[in-house]
Amino acid sequence: MKDIIKKAEILIDALPYIQNFYGKTFVIKYGGAAQTKDELKESFAKDIVMLNFIGIRTVIVHGGGPKISAMMEKMGKKPEFVHGQRVTDQETMDIVEMVLGGLINKEIVSLINRHGGRAVGLSGKDGGLIKAQKKTTKKVTAETGADEIVDLGLVGEVTLIEPHIIDSLEKTGFIPVISPIGVGPHGETLNINADFVAAAVASALKAEKLILLTDVPGLLDKKGAIISTLKKGQVSRLTKDGTITGGMIPKVQACMNALSEGVSKTHIVDGRVPHCLLLEIFTKEGIGTEILD
């Protein structure tokens, strides 16, 4: 009997969060180990279905870098990166679109639907959802030490999110699952970083939360402890002193972008933890780093 009562207490503890978030929109960037390990895929799909059944609207933006690289190598094409960004010629873009929009997107949709959800797959091309422009980056040349502009090819950055298609799906109980592919000004297909797409979608929808799933416990301090809460004003200092470094820089920047556009809270969460979404959303302690305005 004590065990049964304990289960009831857990549900009651979640009640204030359910009341607070009912009818709100959460945008979730899904990637990393949570997207590749079967048991984590199952727990993610169950979390999403549960959130929707209790009245929280979810929008998923997914990545797929490792699967893209694996498919490229199978097809005899070597992946090339500059500052962590994939150099994308037309042949690579065809592979990216095939893997993201075909293989990965439909797998996520199928998994959520199998657990009782109503997911619909989209790419940025659908309904003009993601408008983008070509992105360039700079790198220091070894010979001169000067900055050189690098042409990444068909790599883009978001210029506009058209939210009406997402709103229409959400209002009828569907769960949008979006692959981060945008359309350029001349109709060209562009490959975009999924963290920044998720931030742009959250901003356009004025979402309650942006949640980025990653393969680390959260943002760590110099001693390796999780920074559970971070204010936007602290980010510059922590970047300068090397606390925020490497792959965490674009994730934190995506969170900053979303906060600047009216998203209430942003979270960087360890996707390797089963049911990480429920633990972050419905417990006082949470399990990752929340970044606030």
Cβ neighbours around 270 below 10 Å, total: 21
**pLDDT confidence bin for 144, thresholds 50/70/90:** low
Residue 10 within any structural domain of the chain: no
Catalytic position from the list 251, 271, 286, 288: 251
> Taking a C-beta distance cutoff of 8 angstroms, is the pair 93, 189 a contact?
yes
Q: How many domains does the chain have?
A: 1
Residues 29, 34: Cα–Cα separation, whole Å: 11
Residues 102, 277: Cα–Cα separation, whole Å: 25
- CA distances for 197 relative to 60, 63, 78, angstroms: 10, 10, 25
pLDDT at site 130: 97
Catalytic position from the list 32, 101, 121, 124: 32
Clarify whether 124 is annotated catalytic. no
pLDDT at site 254: 94
Compare 62 and 222 and report the one with higher pLDDT. 62
Residues 17, 175: Cα–Cα separation, whole Å: 21
The C-alpha angle with vertex 119 and arms to 63 and 289, in degrees rounded to 5, equals: 45
Q: Which two tokens stand for residue 35?
A: 């997207």
The candidate with the shortest Cα–Cα distance to 173, out of 236, 94, 119, 113, is: 119
CATH of residue 85: 3.40.1160.10
Please, which residues have CB within 8 angstroms of residue 57's CB and are 6 or more apart in sequence? 23, 24, 25, 26, 170
pLDDT at site 285: 75
Clarify whether 65 is annotated catalytic. yes
Catalytic position from the list 29, 41, 135, 265: 29
Q: Which two tokens stand for residue 77?
A: 């094409």
pLDDT at site 142: 59
Residue labelled with tokens 């969060």 = 17
Clarify whether 240 is annotated catalytic. no
pLDDT at site 43: 93
Clarify whether 2 is annotated catalytic. no
For the chain, the average pLDDT equals: 90
Residue 275 within any structural domain of the chain: yes
Range of the domain at 78: 21-286
Longest dimension (CA), the chain: 74
**pLDDT confidence bin for 109, thresholds 50/70/90:** very high
Q: pTM for this structure?
A: 0.91
DSSP 109-129: HHHHHHTT--EEEEETTGGG-
**In the predicted model, is pLDDT for residue 140 greater than 80?**
no
Please, which residues have CB within 8 angstroms of residue 159's CB and are 6 or more apart in sequence? 131, 132, 133
Residue 4 within any structural domain of the chain: no
* Ranges 51-55, 154-158, 256-260, 280-284: which has the least confidence: 280-284
**In the predicted model, is pLDDT for residue 186 greater than 70?**
yes
> Taking a C-beta distance cutoff of 8 angstroms, is the pair 266, 210 a contact?
yes
Residue 155 within any structural domain of the chain: yes
Residue 293 within any structural domain of the chain: no
CB burial of 153-189 (b: ≥16 within 10 Å; e: otherwise) equals: bbbbbbeebebebbeebbeeebbbbbbbbbbeeeeeb
Clarify whether 32 is annotated catalytic. yes
Catalytic position from the list 31, 64, 65, 218: 65
Catalytic position from the list 47, 126, 195, 270: 195
**In the predicted model, is pLDDT for residue 4 greater than 80?**
no
